[in-house]
Amino acid sequence: MAPVWRPLRLQSLVLLRWLAVAGQTIGVFFVEFGLGFSLPLFECLALIALSAALNIGLVLRYGFRAHLAPGFAAILLACDLCQLGGLLALTGGLQNPFSLLLLAPVSVSATTLPQRETLIIALFAAIIASILSVFHLPLPWMPGEHLAFHRVFVIGIWVAIVCGIAFIAAYTNKVANDSRLIADALAATELALSRREQLSALDGMAAAAAHELGTPLSTISLAAKEMRAEVEQGSQLAEDVELIISQAARCRAILAKLRNLGGSDPTDPFAEAPLTDILAEVARPHEGRGKVILFDSDSVAGPAPVFPRSVGLLYGLGNIIENATDFASQTVRIETSWDQSRIIVRITDDGPGFAPELVARLGEPYLTSRPRDPNGVDADQPGGLGLGIFIAKTLLERTGAKLTFENEKAVGHAQVRIVWSREAVVKQSAARVLT
């Protein structure tokens, strides 16, 4: 897993450059006027002023809190290397003790930038160090005296700086990447815990809703049965009453499921079933809605997968199939495949597909593109609650599944891909037996 690179803030580079400008200015004036060593003062101050002007220009152009792309941040660090290299060339090259500061931009790059940009900055710093080892003005020293270093000593400084550049580029970048990986893992863990808390709250809300709706539903069912005894059999009103009674019974069944989102009775001989049978079962209520539901099994290897018939599994699969039939033009395909390690279900419809701007966020709560009933009491609202996919995804993930959402074709055909590992399914079956 590659760490997610977080953009470097311009504020950080600007503050570091102001610190460098202040330090370079103090150093130049101290050497010239404090120690009395002659150096090209005007040229040095011009390079320092150029760095300060770059700082001011960046702040005016992008703002103090702008975030930098990796390539642009690398260019700014390369400019810092060029400015520092120019100052060192005017003041003795690698013989100047401050040549060690060539490691600073490499350290910043290794800590904050991806590996490619860090490698480029490290190579650029090594090239500048190599040039400074040959081309530079004499090291400022006491008037009338010339300080000469043996060539081997200068080569030793060059080797030390290049080795330092390589070490910082490799070691610091590796440590920073590991730190980012840990931070990303912690963030993912917090997100998983947050989703689990949302699901726990959802379970409580479902139980409360089932309890509150039970009494009015019983009243509706009782009133409808009394009406059935009074209306003329065979009339349109009698058919409407029968429809109310059947739908009330269906609501009772749904509320019974909501009261227990856990698992099935371990003593039930039908508590487990092959995956294909479970898919056929949850798809059956949607076959009479004018859409064709096709089943297909391909790339099959190993024994047929058997799943515990938990309410969460049935509800999650049923909700996804219901969504597919809602948006399909004519056909919904349910494809299954499995081998010794994985079990895959693909549910595809021939409808308009997922909106591109929503694909990456599917599975989040309160995200929907479904319009409300134009004739209903909520016709003036912008859409549904957007909890269906969230609930289905969360319940299926409790069974060990991983869900991905995509469009099979560029023109649409939404597809939901559900993947279980064989090991997770076997553990669920074993846990049911031991319960």
Say whether pTM exceeds 0.75: no
Rg of the Cα atoms in the chain: 35
Pick the CATH number of 263-434 from 3.30.565.10, 3.40.50.970, 1.20.1260.10, 3.30.30.60: 3.30.565.10
Q: Is 307 in contact with 271 (CB distance < 8 Å)?
A: no
Strands 331-338 and 342-349: antiparallel
Task: Give the length of the chain.
Answer: 435
Gap between the Cα atoms of 242 and 224, Å rounded: 8
Q: Where are the domains of the chain?
A: 8-190, 263-434
Walk along the chain (435 residues) and give the pLDDT tens digit of each residue.
445 566 778 888 899 999 999 999 999 999 989 888 888 999 999 999 999 999 999 999 988 788 888 889 899 999 999 999 999 999 988 989 999 999 999 998 888 888 888 899 999 999 999 999 888 888 888 877 777 788 888 899 999 999 999 998 888 888 877 777 766 666 665 665 566 566 656 666 666 677 677 778 888 888 888 888 887 777 788 888 888 888 888 887 777 766 655 444 445 555 788 888 899 988 988 887 788 999 988 777 777 888 887 777 888 898 899 889 988 999 999 999 998 888 999 999 998 888 887 777 777 665 666 554 444 434 433 334 356 787 788 888 888 889 999 988 887 889 999 999 888 777 766 655 554
What is each CA distance from 38 to 142, 158, 307, 376, 397, in whole angstroms?
Answer: 8, 25, 85, 88, 73
The pair of three-digit structure tokens given for residue 230, joined into one six-digit string: 């009074």
Gap between the Cα atoms of 149 and 100, Å rounded: 17
